[in-house]
């Protein structure tokens, strides 16, 4: 049985353990886990001097799991994305901060579509393909309330998480394949947004342990070159969008030329452009339907 211990000593020991385990942000993760077991937030940990024995034991168990590279968000059950809090766990892809930029682009594009509609009163329509936890769709409902949001997810496990995160938001959530999803909306959509699987199968060994061992492979890998889902997206977005509608999708940083080329080569798109993330790496593509 563990004994009570000081907050400082606990965090120092946990940080060392996580660092030895190869965790990228050991001090941050240690503080998040301690706040979690104490039912508080990281900023309020300074108010804690001594941690009770039962909480010490719970904390040390979580630290050991995190040192074994179980995702932090699986241990706390929460992922933060833009301005929303999402429930996550085994069976669903944990949303990454980089994807917040793509969501922000989609929100801006919807606002522009709404302004362009003028006084028609018709709300803009967005389709979120491969919604996963529902992170992008949830952010859009949070920041662009007038939009009509539709989302689809293939995985049964991930779909259950999306149902939980999108409950009460008015999002039209469906389970199915993005290749055929929302045929009833063909030719009417203003914005298509997607964070598809894009990791080449050959890159298995280079994927971080948290993703490779815990994120669903359906959300990670996409054929020998990582572009299979993006090719499907190109065809589906072209069918869904109205003329002049826009699409945005994430890709791997090594695909800064290959991913845009999928769209440029089809001849259906104008303004094909790649965007960089906050670290300066190629991260997502946007394009406008030309026809």
User: pLDDT digits over 40-98, tens only?
Assistant: 988 899 888 899 999 999 999 999 999 999 999 999 999 999 999 999 999 998 999 99
Instruction: Report the chain's C-alpha Rg in angstroms.
Output: 21
Q: Residue 145: which pLDDT band, with cuts at 50, 70 and 90?
A: confident
Cα 155 to Cα 166: distance, rounded to the nearest angstrom: 16
3-state secondary structure of 283: strand
Amino acid 29: pLDDT: 95
Domains present along the chain, CATH in parentheses:
5-68 (1.10.8), 91-289 (3.40.50.150)
Length of the chain in terms of residues written: 291
Amino acid 252: pLDDT: 87
**pLDDT for 119 beyond 70:** no
Q: Express each pLDDT in 19-43 by its tens digit.
A: 999 999 999 999 999 999 999 988 8
Q: 141 to each of 92, 101, 116, 167, how far by Cα in Å? A: 20, 16, 19, 11
Q: What is the pTM of this model?
A: 0.90
Amino acid 197: pLDDT: 86
């Amino acid at each position: 049985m563990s004994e009570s211990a000081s907050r400082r000593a606990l965090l120092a020991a946990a940080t060392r353990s996580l660092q030895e385990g190869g965790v990228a942000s050991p001090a941050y993760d240690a503080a998040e886990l301690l706040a979690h077991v104490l039912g508080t937030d990281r900023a309020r940990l300074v108010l804690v001097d001594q941690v009770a024995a039962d909480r010490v034991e719970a904390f040390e168990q979580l630290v050991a799991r995190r040192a074994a590279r179980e995702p932090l968000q699986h241990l706390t059950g929460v992922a933060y994305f833009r301005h929303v809090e999402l429930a996550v766990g085994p069976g669903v892809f944990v949303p990454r901060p980089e994807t917040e930029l793509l969501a922000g682009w989609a929100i801006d594009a919807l606002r522009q579509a709404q302004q362009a509609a003028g006084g028609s009163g018709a709300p803009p329509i967005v389709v979120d393909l491969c919604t996963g936890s529902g992170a992008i769709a949830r952010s859009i409902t949070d920041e662009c309330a007038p939009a009509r949001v539709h989302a689809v997810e293939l995985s049964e496990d991930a779909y259950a998480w999306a149902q939980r995160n999108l409950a009460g938001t008015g999002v039209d959530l469906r389970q199915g394949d993005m290749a055929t999803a929302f045929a009833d909306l063909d030719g009417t959509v203003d914005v298509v947004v997607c964070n598809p699987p894009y990791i080449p199968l050959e890159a298995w060994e280079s994927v971080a342990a948290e993703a490779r061992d815990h994120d669903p492979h359906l959300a990670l890998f996409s054929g020998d070159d990582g572009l299979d889902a993006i090719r499907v997206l190109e065809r589906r977005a072209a069918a869904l969008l109205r003329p002049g509608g826009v699409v945005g999708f994430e890709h791997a940083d090594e695909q800064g030329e290959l991913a845009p080329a999928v769209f440029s080569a089809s001849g259906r798109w104008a303004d094909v452009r790649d965007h960089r993330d906050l670290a300066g790496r190629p991260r997502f593509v946007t394009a406008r339907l030309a026809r």
